[in-house]
Amino acid sequence: MNQTLSEIYSLEKHLLELKTNVKYKITMYSKTSEEVIEASKELDTHLYHPSADLKECYWFIYKSKLNPKISIRVKGPLL
């Protein structure tokens, strides 16, 4: 398991333990684009690619299956 995926699961676990009824929108940054790509495949989420409209990195949004109010955006380093 890559570090980015491990951090997503850890963050989700901690947020679930809070047992509050609020919406969480978090952005975390990965050290490598390769980990972002691998994590998106493992989580079966849509991977956004670098494009001309100022999105200069790979990124995706993970929504917790256990609590849909938890949303984690994961971004790779700028290319």
**What whole-number distance in Å separates Cα of residue 36 and Cα of residue 22?**
26
Three-state secondary structure along 18-69? CCCCCCEEEEEECCCHHHHHHHHHHHCCCCECCCCCCCCCCEEEEECCCCCC
Mean pLDDT for the stretch of residues 58-77: 95
What are 1-58's pLDDT values in tens digits?
A: 699 999 999 999 999 999 888 999 999 999 999 999 999 999 999 999 887 666 689 9
Q: How far is CA 17 from CA 12, 21, 35, 67, in A?
A: 9, 11, 26, 11
Contact 15, 55 (CB under 8 A): no
Residue 70 β-bridge partners: 24
Where do the domains of the chain lie? 3-64
pLDDT of residue 35: 95
